[in-house]
Amino acid sequence: MSSLLILGAKSDIARAVAQQYAANGWDLLLAGRAINELDDLAKDLAIRHDIKVFLHEFDANDFDSHAAFVAKLPELPDGVITAIGYLGDQQQAENDWSETEQIMNQNLLGNVSVLNILANLFAERQSGFIIGISSVAGDRGRQKNYLYGAAKAGFSTYLSGLRNRLYQDKVHVLTVKPGFVNTQMTADMDLPQKLTAEPEQVAKAIYKAQQKNKNVLYSKGIWAWIMRIIRAIPEWQFKKMDL
Amino acid sequence: MPRANSQQLSGWGRFPALQHSVFTPRTQADLHRFIRNNDNPKTIAFGNGRSYGDSALSECIIDCRKAQNYFIDFDTQQGLLTCQAGVILDEILKVIVPKGWFLPVTPGTRFITLGGAIAADVHGKNHHQAGCFSAYVTDLYLLTSDGTTVRCNQNLETDLFRATCGGMGLTGIILSATIQLKAIASTEINQTTHKTQNLEETFAVFEHNQSSPYSVAWIDCYAKNKSLGRSLVSLGEFSEDGPIALARKKARTMPRWFPSFMLNAWTIQLFNTLYYHRQRQPVKTERVHYERFFYPLDGIQRWNRMYGHKGFIQYQFILPKDTSFEGLQEILKTIADAGQGSFLAVLKLHGKENNNWLSFPLEGYSLALDFKIQDKLFPLLKKLDQLVLTHRGRFYLAKDARVSQEVFERGYPNIDQFRQFRRTHNMHRHFNSAQSLRVGL
């Protein structure tokens, strides 16, 4: 049976991804901080889909622990998805280095640190896939969330390079760029309904894209078009805008 | 904590449609916090929206599906299943059937939540042998208005259990429950369908086949005079030999644009006649998958659209055995004379009444009818209400959208105990639905 490692398993998208892969018969390794909070979910997945689910403590910020974390996994999974991310508070971060650092660590460095290790192991094995959940915010810097955006842009670029490198090793890399998603992270925002996806929709799209070895996935699909337009706005114009 | 948003909602009958503020907790913690802080007395839990009328409608609605969607435990040896209350029976079937288990009692749709099944204390085609859903609930956890979680079952906090099963969410929020499943050796049903000429024959088939685990009848409610009450009575039991397999048929969806004028007195009469005569032989036996036997309507998603945007009333009542024959004859005649027959009219013989204060079934015959909403319908239903009362019958809250307090309370001798219990435990200040206020619960 195939197995999937989910990093940052407590996020809403990650939970939906877990349901999606479990429904397709995958065993799951769920990793995150205070992971025992996922006991109920793990039991649910195991009963519902007759699969095996393991929980692993994982701290994205503690880079030094990542090698030991990977070594302690019961087996090297067939694939990994990372849903580790932190929206942060842009305004606070402009004046507070620790908030900025948090945004950079969670969205970029933590992911890079653990994926570096897994990428090498997958390459050695000559199989596997890596799914990174980045964001449309990384497609262009905006005054409202450029710190988050910069970290995500870095992560998107990292994934793109990784995909290029691992192509020879038969390891596939999928970059997911969700637009608005109705999750805990966005619970306090007023989101336009037509542009907002449910976590389950995103999870379904991810599964399909991974199975088809797609490279970049926008979810909802309309975001690919929106971002194409936003990227096309010339910088001299963009800098004056308030998007 | 997520905010509430305002929405227009209705039950499965699409009548009435009311404006609500809907709160969707994401987690158990959200739900607990909300209950502790909520001061709107017009609050009620909402499951999958399959009760027909206004049972789950109120000013403030708690949508329980998201935060209460986990399977908690499944003992595949003993057939004991524990789930959170927002899990849908369809999801349960997908898990238990492959392991050789089935729901001990199932209503005619598998798209209701576990919590809804308990709150309405639903029954199925096996009521005459198996009783209501609550008979198989071995444990239940309820979130009460003061924010505490109380465990109850047939031996523990029995009054709370009796009020909650059939209590339509008026005692609190059902969090989770354990149910005793039924073992099956096959997913196929041996079905026998008797074609009867009139009500007398229909009753005779029911009475003579009480040993058959499942029974239900479809009545041609346009038939008059000598043919009044002619039916197709279907009997069934699970086959003793395999296979065990989930159905693979994909459901179709009733289109939003379906013209509701297609359903009028003529077409319904035509359908009834054709459907009745489709079966040629007086007795027909076949082997069918349980999905076709128990859930024929689930094959068409959103079939409630068929009746148009004004919606429909499902009118279900039950009469005690001693008045059933006479009462049904009068009622069927009234309906046929009014020319407002129903597309689906379902007759069922029930077994003994249980101890729950508001559970619907009693020993006798129940009839369920769908009526498209139109102006001339309500006077007819008023007439029927009186006939039901004359014959000492009662109405089913899960279906009801309109009966008055006077009509409703006469059917339920234990209603005052339920009311008193709610008052004693301060539930009446926290949980009320449009329906409970209408019928005075």
Query: 3-class DSSP state for residue A61?
Result: coil
| CA atoms of B290 and B286, how far apart (whole Å) | 12
User: Domain check: are B238 and B350 in the same one?
Assistant: yes
Helix (H) or strand (E) holding A18: helix A12-23
Whether B240 and B344 map to the same domain: the answer is yes
pLDDT band at B1 (very low <50, low <70, confident <90, very high): low
| Residue B279 token pair | 């079966």
CB contact under 8 A, A40 and B72: yes
Tokens 């206004």, residue? B54
Cβ within 8 Å, pair B70-A184: no
The CATH number of the domain where A31 resides is what?
A: 3.40.50.720
Of A12, A41, A47, nearest to B74 by CB-CB distance is A47
What pLDDT is recorded for position B229? 94
Nearest Cα residue in chain B from A199: B66
Interface test mutation site (partner A, options B30, B68, B74, max chain A beta carbons within 10 A): B74
> Do B254 and B162 reside in the same domain of the chain?
no
Q: Nearest CB to B70: which of A44, A50, A184?
A: A44
Those residues whose C-beta lies under 8 Å from the C-beta of residue B123, and which sit 6 or more positions away, are: B105, B107, B131, B132, B133, B350, B360, B361
B260 pLDDT more than 80: no
Range of the domain at B155: 71-184
B267 CA: distance to closest CA in chain A (Å): 39
Contact check, Cβ <8 Å, B72/A48: no
- Phi and psi at B302, nearest 5°, equal 55, 35
Q: In this complex, do A43 and B26 lie within 8 Å of one another by their Cβ atoms?
A: no
The tens digit of pLDDT for each residue in B144-178 reads 998 999 999 999 999 999 999 999 999 999 999 99
d(Cα B54, Cα B20) in Å, to the nearest integer? 12
> A53 touching B, CB under 8 A?
no
Q: What is the DSSP string of A180-236?
A: EE-SGGGTTS---GGGEEPHHHHHHHHHHHHHTT-SEEEESTHHHHHHHHHHHS-HH
pLDDT in tens, B105-151: 999 999 999 999 999 999 999 999 999 999 999 999 999 998 999 99
B2 touches chain A (CB under 8 A): yes
pLDDT at B302: 87
CB contact under 8 A, B73 and A40: no
| Contact residues, chain B, for A184 at CB < 8 Å | 26
B90 touches chain A (CB under 8 A): no
Residues B238 and B305 in one domain: yes
B424 Cβ contact partners less than 8 Å away, ≥ 6 residues apart: none
Average pLDDT of span A104-129? 98
Residue B134: the pLDDT is 98
Residue A26 backbone phi and psi in degrees, to 5? -85, 140
Q: What is the mean pLDDT of residues A63-73?
A: 97
Last residue of a domain, one of B184, B218, B240: B184
Whole-model pTM? Answer: 0.91
For the beta sheet containing B214-219, the strands, ordered from the edge strand earlier in sequence to the opposite edge, are B283-289, B188-195, B231-238, B214-219, B345-350, B364-372, B312-320, B394-395
Q: Is A47 on the interface with B (CB under 8 A)?
A: yes
Q: Is residue B440 part of a domain?
A: no
Number of domains in chain B: 2
Query: In the structure encoding, which two tokens stand for residue B141, read together?
Result: 């956890």
Cβ contact, residue pair B2, A47, below 8 Å: no
Q: Is A44 on the interface with B (CB under 8 A)?
A: yes
Supply the DSSP string of B192-212, one letter for each residue: EEEE-SSHHHHHHHHHHTTTS
Of A86-90, B99-103, B343-347, which gets the smallest average pLDDT? B343-347
Is the CB of B72 less than 8 angstroms away from the CB of A184? no
- In whole angstroms, give the CA distance from residue A18 to residue A26: 9
Count the Cβ atoms, other than its own, within 10 Å of residue B267. 12
- Percent of chain B at pLDDT above 70? 99
Name every chain B residue with its beta carbon within 8 A of the beta carbon of A44.
Answer: 69-72
Q: How far apart are CA B198 and CA B230, in angstroms?
A: 4
The CA distance from A67 to B256, in Å, is 55
- Assign B65 a pLDDT band (cuts: 50, 70, 90): confident
| Within-domain flag for A110 | yes
Are A41 and B91 within 8 A, CB to CB?
no
| Tens digit of each residue's pLDDT (9 = 90 or more) over B407-432 | 999 999 999 999 999 999 999 999 99
Same domain, B171 and B285: no
Q: How far is B92 from chain A (nearest CA, A)?
A: 8
Please write the tens of the pLDDT for every residue from A168-207.
Answer: 999 999 999 999 998 887 877 888 888 999 999 999 999 9
Token pair for residue A22? Answer: 């479990």
B66 vs B319, more confident: B319
Of B2, B26, B71, which has the smallest distance from its Cβ to A48's Cβ? B71
- Please, what is the average pLDDT of chain B? 94
Size of interface A-B (CB pairs under 8 A): 28
What is the distance in angstroms between the Cα of B81 and the nearest Cα belonging to chain A? 10
Mean pLDDT of A1-9: 95
- Domain annotation covers residue B433: no
CA angle A123, A129, A133 (to 5 degrees): 125
Any B CB within 8 A of A187 CB = yes
Asked if residue B7 belongs to a domain, the reply is no
Tell me, yes or no, whether B179 and B193 share the same domain.
Answer: no
Per this entry, what is the length of chain A? 243
- A43:B71 CB<8 A: yes
Q: How confident is the model at residue B275 (pLDDT cuts 50, 70, 90)?
A: confident
The pLDDT of residue A126 is above 60: yes
Amino acid, single-letter form, for residue A79: G
- d(C-alpha B325, C-alpha B329), whole Å: 6
Residue A243 lies in a domain: no
ipTM of the prediction: 0.88
Backbone angles phi, psi at B44, to 5 degrees: -150, 150
Say if CB B12 and CB B49 are below 8 A apart: yes
- CA–CA separation, A169 and B308 (whole Å): 58
Structural domain boundaries enclosing A67: 3-238
User: Both B283 and B345 in a single domain?
Assistant: yes
Domain end call among B128, B158, B184: B184
Looking at the fold, whether B167 and B194 belong to one and the same domain comes out as no
Do A48 and B91 make contact, defined as CB atoms within 8 angstroms?
yes
Q: How far apart are CA B413 and CA B424, in angstroms?
A: 19
B91 touching chain A per CB within 8 A: yes
Whether residue B238 sits in one domain with residue B137: no
- Give domain status of residue B262, yes or no: yes
pLDDT band per the 50, 70, 90 thresholds, residue B299? confident
Phi/psi for B372 (5° steps) reads -65, 140
Do the chains contact at B95 and A41, CB–CB below 8 Å?
Answer: no
Same domain, B267 and B362: yes
Count the domains in chain A. Answer: 1
B72 touches chain A (CB under 8 A): yes
Question: Which chain B positions have a beta carbon within 8 Å of A47's beta carbon?
Answer: 71-74, 95
In a domain, B205, yes or no: yes
Question: Which among A37, A47, A190 is the top mutation candidate for probing chain B, defined by the most B β-carbons within 10 Å of its own β-carbon?
Answer: A47
> In whole angstroms, what is the distance from residue A31 CA to residue A41 CA?
12
Q: How far apart are CA A184 and CA B29, in angstroms?
A: 13
Between chains, do A44 and B2 touch, taking CB under 8 Å as contact?
no
pLDDT in tens, B323-374: 999 999 999 999 988 888 787 899 999 999 999 999 999 999 999 999 999 8
* Per-residue confidence band for B2, with pLDDT thresholds at 50, 70 and 90: low
Q: Which of chain A's residues have a Cβ under 8 Å away from the Cβ of B91? A: 48
Q: Which is nearest to B195 in space by CA: B186, B187, B204, B184? A: B204
Q: Is residue B66 part of a domain?
A: no
Question: Testing the interface with B: which of A48, A188, A191 to mutate, by most B Cβ within 10 A?
Answer: A48
End-to-end alpha-carbon separation of chain B, Å? Answer: 31
In this prediction, residue B284 carries a pLDDT of 94
pLDDT at A145 over 90: yes
CA dihedral A44, A49, A50, A53 (to 10 degrees): -60
Minimum-distance CB partner of A44 among B26, B71, B98: B71
- Residue A241 burial by CB count (10 A; 0-12/13-18/19+): exposed, middle or buried? exposed
Residue B58 maps to a domain? no
Confidence of residue B186 (pLDDT cuts 50, 70, 90): very high
Residue B136 and residue B267 share a domain: no
Q: Which residue of B has its CA nearest to A190?
A: B3
Nearest to residue B366, comparing CAs of B345, B342, B338? B345
- Whether B73 has its CB under 8 Å from any CB of chain A: the answer is yes
Domain stop point among B151, B184, B217: B184
Domain membership flag for residue B18 = no
Q: In this structure, are B180 and B199 located in the same domain? A: no
Query: Which residues in chain B are closer than 8 Å to A192, comparing Cβ atoms?
Result: none
Span A33-59, average pLDDT: 95
Nearest Cα of chain A lies from the Cα of B311 at a distance, in angstroms, of: 27
Residue B75 has pLDDT above 90, yes or no: yes
End-to-end C-alpha distance for chain A, whole angstroms: 46
- Kindly determine whether residue A40 and residue B70, on different chains, have CB atoms separated by under 8 Å: yes
Weakest-pLDDT range from A27-31, A96-100, B5-9, B212-216? B5-9
Burial zone of B227 (CB within 10 Å; 0-12 exposed, 13-18 middle, 19+ buried): middle
Chain A contact probe: residue of B71, B89, B93 with most A CBs at under 10 A: B71
Q: What is the CATH number of the domain that holds B206?
A: 3.40.462.10
Q: Token pair of B381, please? A: 């239903």
Is there a contact between B73 and A41 if contact means CB atoms under 8 Å apart?
Answer: no
pLDDT at B342: 81
